[in-house]
A and B are shown apart, each in its own frame.
Chain A
Amino acid sequence: MPSPFMARRTCARVLQAGALVFSMWGGSVAAQTGVEAPAPIATNGVKTTERSASEWLLRMHEASRQRNYMGTFVVQAGGHLSSARIWHACDGVQQMERVESLSGTPRSTFRRNDEVTTFLPASRVAILEKRESLGLFPHVLQAANSSIDKLYRVQTSGHERVAGLEADVVRLRPQDNLRFGYRIWSERKTGLVVKLQTLDADGRVLEQAAFSELQLDAPVSMANLNHLMGKTEGYRVEKPGLVKTTSADEGWALKKEVPGFKSMSCFKRARVGTSVTAQDATFQWIFSDGLASVSLFVDAYDANRHASPGYRVMGATHTLTQRMGNWWLTAVGEVPLHTLSAFALALERKD
């Protein structure tokens, strides 16, 4: 039990405490403490926005390319909570980020545009990667007939404070049940995303990420981040083995398109301890509807490694595994399980 001192302290202030730790999730403080939460500034309820979904997303995307900031970022998914300290700098050409984990395994992740270096100090390993996906947008968003606007309906309602900043609240509602919805808090002046929730069809929060504290236009030195990112002395540098390929070259196709999801890219990935040219390299086929992505991983079936089919859920990320003749499929995505099932049913071998 807490000490009498602590209990008294809480007694005296509990009605005004506001349960700050959970208010960042947008939860009603009133429900927990009896204190009425401040009403949203907009009082006319739901209103129609003049921006389309892709225009909102483009604004959010551009905000992160044009502003420096630092803060504390918290992610909750599947009953797990992780937090990290964030530094973000940009100079109109380059974007740099540093993410220093505050929970779990100590690690520092640096990003310079699409180059990513992850330092794992405990094992003295530095992993160097190039993430093509970071360079794909906003080109997709700028396309006149952005499919996002067809798949999601945008709705705004007022504004709320997150991490001390006024933010527009934007809801993206899926037009079918093959994908989840989103609720986004976009800082009013800049458009920066300060909080994001992934919602299921009933509006339940599956996963959320938010800044608990954020300093916009912070004096973050890009030169310093560049220096730290390149400081790999004393670390064993690893580069994931993978080569770009196509589904046709690898002998895979979809019998039927899963509505809204488009093929984005394909890779062959080396399994741990093997070469990417080895027979048992994993084929990865990536799909996206603009907001949610799905990866289909196909391996040669191995009874020792692939015991039984299964499912896994972690926040909004779902995983499905099953055998397909001589192959083993692992489908992963921020989509409902039945969407992964639809992909599994559509995937076929073209020998």
Chain B
Amino acid sequence: MQEVLKNRENVSALADGQLHGEEFARAAEWAARDADGQMTWQAYHGVGDLLRTGEWGASSRDAAFMARFKVRLQQEPLPSRQFESPELIAIQVIDAPARAQKSFKNEAANDATYRWKRLAGFASVLAVVAVGFLASGMWDGQRGSPQLAQAAEATIQPNQAASGPPGDGPNLMIRNSELDALLAAHRQFGGTTAFQVPTGFLRNATFEGGGR
């Protein structure tokens, strides 16, 4: 109980901008990861909403939205495999101009609010699901549009690419020790970038990737 009160006190101090260094990091992590910490943090924002707008619960609308979003997402029918295959995606990738050029605003689109952080997990899952279905043609031997014929030369033969029982599609991978070992190997030797010395090494040594 003492620890809970202490943690809440720390979040209070955090909101007041009074923490620094390790205390700051610990309080930030508790506020971000612990259910009680998140509730405490949101409660403070609720108070802020009330003071600013005279309305209680402006922030809690986010949570309500996410709850409705989850329910709707679960109810959505799974799309059939009518998307372009990864072969075509790869060709488009090489030829397509970057969409990244369209905006010259320096700010990240989602940098302005904390809301995106709560959506980040969902976005990652959605991205995985979406790309998974986009790529599902790789395991669908029935595919074969004229567009794909053009890309056939650069394509793994269907009998080579086939994997798992018929009808199986790509899955969201479950973390396992072998995958962890390969990710560690990528960080060890694959971090071959200009960022490696300024921040890459620190990033890789700091980030554990969701705990073990």
Inside 8 A of B132's CB, which chain A residues have their CB? 310-311
Which B residues are CB-close (under 8 A) to A52?
none
Evaluate contact between A342 and B94: CB separation under 8 angstroms. yes
Interface centre among B25, B128, B189 (most CB of A within 10 A): B189
Residues A308 and B171 in contact, CB atoms below 8 Å apart? yes
CA distance A116 to B156 in the complex (A): 38
CB-based contact B155/A345 at 8 Å? yes
Cα A290 to Cα B195 with chains together (Å): 9
**In the bound complex, do residue B111 and residue A28 qualify as a contact, i.e. CB atoms below 8 Å apart?**
yes
Q: Given A80-B211, A322-B161, A342-B93, are A309 and B139 neighbors across the interface (CB < 8 Å)?
A: yes
- Contact assessment for A178 and B93 in the assembled complex, using a CB-CB cutoff below 8 Å: yes
Closest A-chain residue to B41, C-beta based? A21
Q: Which residues between 155 and 186 of chain A lie within 8 Å of chain B, taking CB atoms? A: 155, 157, 169, 171, 173-178, 181-183
A7 at the interface (CB under 8 A from B): yes
* B179 close to A330 (CB less than 8 A): yes
Cα A313 to Cα B128 with chains together (Å): 7
Q: Could you tell me the distance between the alpha carbons of A99 and B202 in the complex, rounded to whole angstroms?
A: 7
CB distance from A67 to the nearest CB of B (A): 11
Determine if A330 and B182 form an interchain contact, defined as CB atoms under 8 angstroms apart: yes
Tell me the complex Cα distance, A10–B8, Å.
Answer: 12
Q: Is the interface of A mostly helix, strand, loop or mixed?
A: mixed
A134 to B198, CA, bound (A): 10
Contact residues in A for B160 (Cβ distance below 8 Å): 323-325
Is A286 interfacial (CB 8 A cutoff)?
A: yes
CB pair A203–B109 under 8 Å, yes or no, is yes
How far is B208's CA from A73's CA once the two chains are assembled, in angstroms?
Answer: 13
| Interface residue tally for chain B (C-beta within 8 Å) | 115
Report yes or no: B124 in contact with A134, Cβ–Cβ below 8 A.
Answer: no
- Given the complex, which residues of B lie within 8 Å of A9, measured CB to CB? 12, 16
Verify B154–A255 contact, CB threshold 8 A.
yes
Whole-angstrom distance between the alpha carbons of A292 and B105 in the complex? 23
Q: Decide if B161 touches A7 in the complex (CB within 8 Å).
A: no
Tell me whether A1 is interfacial, beta carbon within 8 Å: yes
The residue on B at minimum CB distance from A84 is: B206
Asked, given contacts A82-B207, A177-B100, A202-B99, whether A293 binds B24 with beta carbons under 8 Å apart, the answer is no
Partner of B29 from the list A103, A330, A333 (CB cut-off 8 Å) is A103
- Given contacts A175-B101, A205-B116, 5 further A-B pairs with CB under 8 A are A83-B29, A196-B199, A284-B186, A310-B132, A339-B93
Q: Which residues of B contact A (CB under 8 A)?
A: 5, 8-9, 12, 14-17, 19-22, 24-29, 31-33, 39-40, 43-45, 47-48, 51-52, 86-87, 89-90, 92-94, 96-101, 103-114, 116-117, 120-121, 123-124, 127-128, 131-132, 135, 138-139, 154-157, 159-164, 168, 170-173, 175, 177-179, 181-183, 185-186, 188-199, 201-203, 205-212
11 residue pairs from A and B, CB less than 8 Å apart:
A19-B15, A21-B14, A26-B107, A63-B198, A84-B202, A84-B206, A99-B206, A177-B100, A212-B21, A288-B192, A319-B173
The 10 closest A-B pairs by CB, nearest first: A104-B208, A310-B173, A323-B163, A295-B190, A83-B25, A99-B205, A79-B121, A84-B206, A203-B109, A28-B112
